[in-house]
């Protein structure tokens, strides 16, 4: 898969079939669209292109209503690579780009830059300045500029019944199983392991503290989770606590991972942690002894869930 940063850095000497969207999560619904795109491209010998945007348009156009995303830009790129498309174009979304009229967008971007023969798009897709144009306008412009529009019908979209918003809400609520079932893979966080206060070590549960660089990355609700990570082709299970550790009277939120059967020193390294299940809410205990007792119960719960998988 070719990865292109910005439409101006792309050139093509054949015709293409494209789809457009932000594709946050690259979830099961998106995956169906991508399969259809690849099938059509193979049948017609067209280059399959996904045109996506970063930052997310809602972040740019509604800065007072911050949107957290399921994937970082790198995670999303990896998911597209696994889909089998030919080219991923990630175009910087800004106010100037949002000011393009529907016809300017079609003529200058889709036709002149991407050389499209077909476009695969949802029945409710909106585009152009203030999102004024819809599928009917796109079909008219297709006739004018000689490309076909393959419409994903309301019935097809409703049958999928998955959306990035539903997945975000599930993650925010701690409903990891539901989110993973919609995604078709396990939601994850990737971060650098930094030094913490080392209290976990003193009670027999040493933790790796994760620092997430991307402020726009969605973090699940505070609480304890069953997780796993992959290291040197091995899978290591563990549990994660997200929160402020109220028993210890800390105020700063942290993400701490306790890996079972783990002895390696990974300070300064980046690890990716995959979520499997939500164990319990974060809770304030009266003492460190009570907290330690609860953590032991949490570990037993996690080990039981691992056995059932």
pLDDT digits (tens, 9 = 90+) for 176-213: 999 999 999 999 999 999 877 666 666 668 888 999 99
Q: Are 196 and 207 in contact (CB under 8 A)?
A: yes
Instruction: Please report where in the chains the tokens 């003529």 appear, as a residue.
Output: 107
pLDDT at 162: 86
Q: Which of 136, 66, 126, 121 is nearest to 98 (CA)?
A: 126
The span from the CA of 165 to the CA of 185, in Å, is 17
pLDDT at 207: 86
Q: What is the CATH number of domain 2-162?
A: 3.40.50.620
The span from the CA of 160 to the CA of 126, in Å, is 19
Q: What is the pTM of this model?
A: 0.91
Residues sharing a CB contact under 8 Å with residue 234, sequence separation 6 or more, in sequence order: none
Calculate mean pLDDT across residues 70-95: 95
Instruction: Please state the domain extents for the chain.
Output: 2-162, 187-308
CATH 1.10.150.20 at 187-308, yes or no: no
Q: Which of 145, 157, 125, 140 is nearest to 15 (CA)?
A: 145
pLDDT at 94: 93
With DSSP H G I counted as helix, E B as strand and the rest as coil, what are the percentages for the chain, rounded to 5? 40, 30, 35
Rg of the chain in Å (alpha carbons): 23
Residues sharing a CB contact under 8 Å with residue 37, sequence separation 6 or more, in sequence order: 17, 18, 19, 48, 50, 85, 120
């Amino acid at each position: 898969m070719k990865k292109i940063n910005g439409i101006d850095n792309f050139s093509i000497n054949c015709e293409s079939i494209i789809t457009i969207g932000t594709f946050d999560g690259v979830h099961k619904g998106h995956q169906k669209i991508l399969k259809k795109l690849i099938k059509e491209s193979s049948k017609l010998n067209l280059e399959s292109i996904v045109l996506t945007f970063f930052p997310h348009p809602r972040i740019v156009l509604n800065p007072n209503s911050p949107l957290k995303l399921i994937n970082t830009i790198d995670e999303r790129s990896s998911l597209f690579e696994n889909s089998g498309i030919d080219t991923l174009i990630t175009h910087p979304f800004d106010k100037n780009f949002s000011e393009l009229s529907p016809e300017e967008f079609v003529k200058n971007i889709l036709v002149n830059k991407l050389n499209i023969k077909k476009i695969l798009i949802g029945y409710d897709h909106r585009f152009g300045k203030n999102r004024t144009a819809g599928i009917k306008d796109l079909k008219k412009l297709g006739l004018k500029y000689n490309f076909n529009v393959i419409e994903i019908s309301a019935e097809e979209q409703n049958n999928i019944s998955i959306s990035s918003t539903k997945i975000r809400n599930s993650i925010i609520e701690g409903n990891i199983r539901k989110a993973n079932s919609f995604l078709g893979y396990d939601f994850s966080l990737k971060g650098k392991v930094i030094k913490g206060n080392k209290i976990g070590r003193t009670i027999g549960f040493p933790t790796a503290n994760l620092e997430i660089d991307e402020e726009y990355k969605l973090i699940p609700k505070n609480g304890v989770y069953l997780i796993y990570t992959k290291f040197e082709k091995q899978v290591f299970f563990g549990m994660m606590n997200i929160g402020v550790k109220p028993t210890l009277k800390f105020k700063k939120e942290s993400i701490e991972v306790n890996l079972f059967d783990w002895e390696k020193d990974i300070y300064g390294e980046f690890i990716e942690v995959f979520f499997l299940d939500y164990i319990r809410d974060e809770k304030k205990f009266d003492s460190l002894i009570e907290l330690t007792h609860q953590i032991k119960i949490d570990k037993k719960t996690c080990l039981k869930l691992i056995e059932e998988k």
